[in-house]
Amino acid sequence: MSALLRLLRTGAPAAACLRLGTSAGTGSRRAMALYHTEERGQPCSQNYRLFFKNVTGHYISPFHDIPLKVNSKEENGIPMKKARNDEYEVYPKNLFNMIVEIPRWTNAKMEIATKEPMNPIKQYVKDGKLRYVANIFPYKGYIWNYGTLPQTWEDPHEKDKSTNCFGDNDPIDVCEIGSKILSCGEVIHVKILGILALIDEGETDWKLIAINANDPEASKFHDIDDVKKFKPGYLEATLNWFRLYKVPDGKPENQFAFNGEFKNKAFALEVIKSTHQCWKALLMKKCNGGAINCTNVQISDSPFRCTQEEARSLVESVSSSPNKESNEEEQVWHFLGK
């Protein structure tokens, strides 16, 4: 228990709406070199949307237009920074872009709107109400910075060979375990360390374990065993959190493939590779994407590509009228220990 309590002491709980409000502020924009966010609607309401722009000010889809990997001279057509010898900086192999959807210790279930044009971040709505994840003692909201890898997709029509379950129709999820509390809409570079196979209502819902490449301790982390060594108790807390987080809603405990074993980096990279290939098929219209919105401005050979003017028009068509909803973040603590 002491290890879990140490996790809670690393950051003060912040109200979901306050964290969302700061996410689109100037501080966040300064930290994001290549991507910026723009709010539409009122935070903590059903009409709230967080749209993404690149450094030139053009609207982009975070789902489709932000590259998966960070290992080239250009990202979205923008040259990466140069090193002192005037050569482009060489990025470590297997460094990935992560889009932060939910800051650590917050409860609002924020996610990329995969079925909306330009795929902004919005708050998940269930049964007509905004969704907030329950506080399950001793956890306050999400216990990591939670988000996703762009240009990945867990195909709901393709059965995963290792889990024997179909995909959950979303980009692959990431649990970032660094020391900083990040903001909704930040795009950071992460090192992949391992992966957990959650089986969510019969669907494969992979959970990557990663660390911010700019974290002060990032150099110590190379694989899943380093998490066990340097952050004892964190993986056990992660497994327990995913096992229980739907129980307060009246649902059974979640199940896991591999008996809840965290797979290593090499395994995780293969899963990323597979979900990236599924995304490519989606963007090239080689598979059935259903209601997934594939509109993009950067993928040159995609039949879903649109112009910058069309992208702006799509964003401007989104309603930003006031909404009467307010923060309904659950302050109740659920005690589910056995």
Segment 196-222, tens digit of pLDDT? 999 988 999 999 999 999 999 999 999
**Those residues with Cβ within 8 angstroms of residue 111's Cβ, 6 or more apart along the chain or in another chain:** 101, 121, 122, 123, 124, 170
Indicate the pTM of the whole model.
0.87
Give tens-digit pLDDT for 256-311: 999 999 999 999 999 999 999 999 999 999 999 999 999 999 999 999 999 999 99
Burial of 114 from C-beta contacts in 10 A (0-12 / 13-18 / 19+) = buried
> What whole-number percentage of the chain has pLDDT above 90?
73
Return d(Cα 281, Cα 298) in angstroms, integer: 16
